[in-house]
């Protein structure tokens, strides 16, 4: 099969950077152990760095102390990697369990095999723990992180290209992917030279596009409410209120979940199947559902922007400059008088009023800076 613009796969020697050999060539012959860095790991590392930088800038713009993103990353990244590996192993049991299988290979993460849905679960646990320790609002961090997640995943998908994995059905499209043989993921019986859908490239494009979409929606739109079929439902409407209180995270889950259902469906690598649907497609359905639930629930509970990126009572709590309606408590629910803010904080938290599809009503605000 021939395609004029087919994408070649990198040669096997590109799969890892053999630092041991390079150092010995420089005369450091005392280094006798094999020292290799997989390009798969480098792609993930570059993605993590890009996400941390973007998230840090977005947090600082929200009034968060510079560098706090690094503190949270120390919890989120390791737990995210552990969660990603556990999810992959549990959804590919035949690769690691059974007669003749070596259980120690469940730890060989450098050979590939991590799952973004497991990373999201593990990373969310890490973020929650870190936010409890630092006093930062969980939703503030999650919303700042959302575009960075897509950016990190775009870089990470390059690792699949280096590993010759996660490609799709055979195709003769001009941009088809060349996959060298032998490869365990290639179905038996296909002729030599068969080309495949570059699903890693599709997901890279989808994720980068998602970054741009989320950033655009955050700056130009807000969540309002409109009556549809007699029900008051949250909808995107023009407005100045940024998507906060977890709404950016919700849009990320919906965006990524919708794309993943498509790219995962055309992949041909082995996967557990339930009711005719691949495991990761079910997980993508779950991501979309969770995203919709967060969007609906948080839109009903919180119409405005958080009064501070920190939780009330934390030393960094200080009401930020804003003309937007604040909402510490669910819509229609009065805060406990015993915990109601006083002084300048009380002036910055006006009584809640239902928000319609127009821009948020301006309310009084009190300026202040978070603790450095």
How do residues 54-69 score in pLDDT, each as one tens digit? 999 998 888 888 889 9
H or E element, residue 17: strand 16-18
Confidence of residue 48 (pLDDT cuts 50, 70, 90): very high
Domains of the chain: which residue ranges?
12-331
Q: How far is CA 77 from CA 57, 80, 261, in A?
A: 18, 5, 25
**Is the confidence at residue 95, as pLDDT, over 90?**
no
Q: If we measure between CA atoms, which residue out of 217, 283, 304, 278 comes closest to residue 252?
A: 217
Q: If we measure between CA atoms, which residue out of 208, 207, 200, 206 comes closest to residue 175?
A: 200
- For CA atoms 352, 353, 357, 360, the dihedral sign is negative
Tell me the C-alpha distance between 299 and 296, whole Å.
5
Confidence of residue 222 (pLDDT cuts 50, 70, 90): low
Q: What is the predicted pLDDT for the residue at 165?
A: 85
Q: Which residues pair with 236 in a beta bridge?
A: 223
Confidence of residue 210 (pLDDT cuts 50, 70, 90): very high
Q: What is the predicted pLDDT for the residue at 258?
A: 95
Q: If we measure between CA atoms, which residue out of 76, 58, 16, 68 comes closest to residue 146?
A: 58
Confidence of residue 26 (pLDDT cuts 50, 70, 90): confident
Residues 6+ apart with CB under 8 A from 147: 54, 58, 210, 211, 214, 215, 248, 252
Would you say 169 and 196 are in contact if contact means Cβ atoms under 8 Å apart?
yes
Confidence of residue 330 (pLDDT cuts 50, 70, 90): very low
138 versus 242: the higher-pLDDT residue is 138
94 versus 84: the higher-pLDDT residue is 84
Q: Which residues pair with 18 in a beta bridge?
A: 36
What is the arithmetic mean of pLDDT over 80-108?
Answer: 86
- Structural tokens at position 234: 């949250």
Confidence of residue 349 (pLDDT cuts 50, 70, 90): very low
> 237: buried, middle or exposed (CB in 10 Å: 19+, 13-18, 0-12)?
middle
Q: Is the pTM of this model over 0.85?
A: no
Q: What is the predicted pLDDT for the residue at 287?
A: 94
Would you say 304 and 324 are in contact if contact means Cβ atoms under 8 Å apart?
yes
Tell me the C-alpha distance between 316 and 296, whole Å.
29
What is the arithmetic mean of pLDDT over 112-129?
Answer: 90
Among 29-43, 64-78, 307-321, which is the least confidently predicted range?
307-321
What is the arithmetic mean of pLDDT over 263-273?
Answer: 86
- Structural tokens at position 80: 């995210």
> Does the N-terminal peptide bond of residue 182 adopt cis geometry, omega within 30 degrees of 0?
yes
Question: In the chain, at which residue ranges do the beta strands (DSSP E only) sit?
Answer: 16-18, 36-38, 177-178, 195-196, 221-228, 231-238, 273-274, 277-278
Which one of 84-88, 162-166, 266-270, 315-319 scores highest in mean pLDDT?
A: 84-88
What is the arithmetic mean of pLDDT over 165-173?
Answer: 88
DSSP state of 170: B
What is the arithmetic mean of pLDDT over 26-50?
Answer: 82
272 versus 85: the higher-pLDDT residue is 85
């Amino acid at each position: 099969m021939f395609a004029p613009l087919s994408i070649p796969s990198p040669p096997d020697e590109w799969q890892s950077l053999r630092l041991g050999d390079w150092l010995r060539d420089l005369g450091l012959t005392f280094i006798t152990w094999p020292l290799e860095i997989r390009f798969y790991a480098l792609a993930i590392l570059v993605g993590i760095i890009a996400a941390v930088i973007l998230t840090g800038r977005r947090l600082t713009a929200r009034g968060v102390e510079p560098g706090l993103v690094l503190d949270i990353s120390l919890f989120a990244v390791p737990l995210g990697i552990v969660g990603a590996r556990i999810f992959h192993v549990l959804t590919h049991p035949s690769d690691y369990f059974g007669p003749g299988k070596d259980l120690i290979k469940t730890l060989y993460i450098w050979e590939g095999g991590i799952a973004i849905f497991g990373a999201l679960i593990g990373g969310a646990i890490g973020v929650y723990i870190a936010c409890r320790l630092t006093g930062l609002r969980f939703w503030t961090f999650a919303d700042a992180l959302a575009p960075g997640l897509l950016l990190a995943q775009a870089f990470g998908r390059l690792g699949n290209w280096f590993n010759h994995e996660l490609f799709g059905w055979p195709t003769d499209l001009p941009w088809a992917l060349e996959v060298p043989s032998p490869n365990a993921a290639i179905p038996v019986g296909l002729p030599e030279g068969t080309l495949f859908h570059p699903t890693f490239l599709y997901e890279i494009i989808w994720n980068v596009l998602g970054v741009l979409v989320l950033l655009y929606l955050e700056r130009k739109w807000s969540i309002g409410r409109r009556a549809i079929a007699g029900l008051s439902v949250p909808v995107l409407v023009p407005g100045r209120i940024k998507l906060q209180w977890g709404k950016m995270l919700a849009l990320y889950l919906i965006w990524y979940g919708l794309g993943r259902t498509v790219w995962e469906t055309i992949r041909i690598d082995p996967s557990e199947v339930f009711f005719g649907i691949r495991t990761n497609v079910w997980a993508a359905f779950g991501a979309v559902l969770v995203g919709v639930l967060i969007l609906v629930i948080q839109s009903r509970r919180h119409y405005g922007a958080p009064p501070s990126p920190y939780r009330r009572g934390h030393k960094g709590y200080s009401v930020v400059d804003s003309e937007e309606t604040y909402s510490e408590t669910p819509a229609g629910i009065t805060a406990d008088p015993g915990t109601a803010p006083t002084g300048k904080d009380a002036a910055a938290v006006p009584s809640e009023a239902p928000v319609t599809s127009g821009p948020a009503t301006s309310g009084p605000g009190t300026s202040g800076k978070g603790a450095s």
